[in-house]
Amino acid sequence: MSAGGAQTAGRRSGLWLVLFALAWGGGVIAYTPLLTLLLPLKLGLSPGDKVATLSLVTMAGALTASIANVVAGDLSDRWRSRRWGRRPWIAAGLAATALGYAAVAMSEGLAGVLIAIVAFQIGLNLLLAPLAALAADEVPDAQKGALGGLMGAAYPLGAFSGVAVMAVPDSLGRLAAAFILAAVAILPFLALRPAPQGSAATEPEPRPHGRRNLAAVWFARLLVQLAGGVMFAFALYYFETVRVQGQALTADGAAGRLALLMGVAALLTAPVSILLGQLSDRLSARRAILQALTLAVATALVMLALLPVWPLAAAAYVLFAIAQAVFLALQQTYVMQLLPSPQHRGRDLGILNLTNTLPSIAGPALAFVLISGGGYRGLMLVLAALAVVAGVLMGRVREPG
């Protein structure tokens, strides 16, 4: 590859950006229905066992993901194909994810599910790490807001896939449907001929306030992901506590309603994300937009804590899902602008990815303690406070220029 880097690389076409965002959405599809809906249902234990068991499995998977993402990113840094960039690693990750799904399908008992989730997370992160680094390599900063908005619009594909997967009547069919949907979203980007690109070997000049900015966005993302990770893992169980016309929901009933809410949020997330992504490029207002989104996350969590009745809890969950998804997408590309080492974008994004996986380790433990001590109200209020702190941290970022 020639010298220059993402800063001087040519603009990407609209088709390139859309197909990349679709591939990113395929990565979201690969884990959303499985970890949000299918895993809790597979672990369908008695009420006294399910929180502790899901916490254990989620923590094991998150620890595996933390290590696998850094290793996969570093490998894709070291052995990129000159012609195809990181695409061969993405293809290998898709194949490994298929094997992870097969392991989940064949697993039996707690030990079997634990081993299967570990295998799944290795394959998934072999897919996701080089995919994220490819965007940092090949998309110029002037388009990163637009790309972030499209990535945010792609996140709801995970929710739509949840609706589709839950329409399949048996567990094996649901697993197969989830992987097929993910592959269909990813393969078009891999089939697209790579555009001429600059090398990630050099950076024009050091970023001002680079370390301070990275620390602020790292911790802000960590806190928002902690809130999201807990909701992601325990939303099904939370909605089992929400009463509809005075009656509790069954596990399947709660799962169906949750999948529907995910679909409603998806319909609203896409246009909001695209609009805010475009505005962040045109107005250079990414920091202010990200702060507003953390406030929306906190507001939704307070509503979930204080208003656990179906219409209001449903509206709060939709607000939470939109705000968190758009925050993560726009901040993902914002962070790409701050990476200090072009030669190690995959590795460094893997380290930043710890903000995605560490909450999945700490979050279930926090949830277990707070839920056991007083139910979901205290948990949601604590998470709301963390979202407020995240907004304060984003305010400490010194934007270039």
Q: What is the pLDDT of residue 205?
A: 53
Note whether residue 5 is domain-resident: no
Q: What is the pLDDT of residue 208?
A: 57
**Could you tell me which residues come within 8 angstroms of residue 133 by beta carbon, excluding any fewer than 6 positions away?**
73, 76, 77, 86, 345, 346, 349
* Termini Cα distance of the chain: 30
Check which CATH number belongs to the domain holding 381 and give it: 1.20.1250.20
Beta bridge partners of 243: 309
Q: What is the pLDDT of residue 207?
A: 58
**pLDDT tens digits for range 212-243:** 788 889 999 999 999 988 887 788 888 888 87
Q: Which residues of the chain have pLDDT under 70?
A: 1-9, 45-49, 81-82, 194-210, 340-341, 360-361, 399-401
Note whether residue 349 is domain-resident: yes
Give the global pTM.
0.78
How far is residue 119's CA from residue 360's CA, in Å, rounded to a whole number? Answer: 17
Q: What is the pLDDT of residue 270?
A: 87
Q: What value, to the nearest 5°, has the Cα angle with vertex 383 and ends 378 and 385? A: 100
Q: In Å, what is the CA distance from 290 to each residue of 328, 333, 392?
A: 9, 12, 10
**pLDDT tens digits for range 281-326:** 888 788 889 999 999 999 999 999 998 888 899 999 999 999 998 9
Q: What is the pLDDT of residue 122?
A: 96
Note whether residue 173 is domain-resident: yes
Note whether residue 7 is domain-resident: no
Q: What is the pLDDT of residue 196?
A: 59
Q: What is the pLDDT of residue 346?
A: 84
What residue numbers bound the domain in which 326 lies?
14-394
Note whether residue 75 is domain-resident: yes
Note whether residue 253 is domain-resident: yes
Rg for the chain, CA atoms, rounded: 20
What total of structural domains would you count in the chain? 1
Q: Which helix (H) or strand (E) holds 298?
A: helix 286-306
Note whether residue 9 is domain-resident: no
Q: What is the dihedral of CA 213, 269, 141, 336, to 10 degrees?
A: 40
Q: What is the pLDDT of residue 5?
A: 43
Note whether residue 347 is domain-resident: yes
